[in-house]
Amino acid sequence: MIRRAVLLAGLALLGLGAWSDAPPPWEVLREASTIEMSVRAFGGSHRGRFEDWRGDVAFDPDAPSRTRATIVVQAGSLKMNASAVTGRAIGPGFLDARRHPTIRFQLRSLESAGGDRYTARAEVTMKGQTRPVTFPVDLRVTGDRAHLTGAFTLDRTDFGIGTSGAWNRMVGREVTVRVALQARRL
């Protein structure tokens, strides 16, 4: 029993040591942040906004390359600018929110591009498919607040979104995702 307690205590200390090397956690301020998307369809541009998501961020302003973030979006929370389009966008032919309720964004690193500009390297998972994305972001840090903005483009067919039926020909393959995140150092 004593040997087991010592072993558990040792493992706990090792875990704490590993955590101390991680960048400090930040709280994403959802009320000041947005995740939006746009796609060309039916001769025009259609925009949408994800209303339900959460984010976990570990960030050190002095070592941005160690930044890690996970954003989990509820696919069914997408609200399109034309409400008649919302049901189709989250339905079985596109996001299929009932069978695939979450979209996951996993930031792996930020690489300095000079000043407040960075290159983000991440992975996006939708409908069981994971694809890498690399895109420019602006990141400003003022005191205990950080504000990140950026956008990337995905090919919806890489994720099996809208790949069959008549709608496939009427909706553009490129989907642009725009993020504006604010966070506070914990």
Report, as an integer, the average pLDDT of 39-49.
90
pLDDT at 15: 45
Of residues 1 and 73, the one with the higher pLDDT is 73
Partners of 118 in the β-ladder: 112, 137
Inter-CA distances, 18 with 23, 58, 68, Å: 11, 14, 15
Of 131, 122, 126, nearest to 160 by C-alpha is: 126
Rounded Cα–Cα distance for residues 122 and 178 (Å): 14
* Per-residue pLDDT tens digits for 3-31: 444 444 444 444 444 445 789 999 999 99
Question: Beta strand 171-185 with 25-28: parallel, antiparallel or unpaired?
Answer: antiparallel
Identify residue 134 by its one-letter amino acid code.
T
Rounded Cα–Cα distance for residues 118 and 135 (Å): 8
Fold of 23-185: Lipocalin (2.40.128)
* Per-residue pLDDT tens digits for 132-183: 999 999 999 999 999 999 999 999 999 999 888 776 778 999 999 999 999 9
What's the token pair of residue 146?
């950080």
| pLDDT value at 102 more than 70 | yes
- pTM of the complete model: 0.85
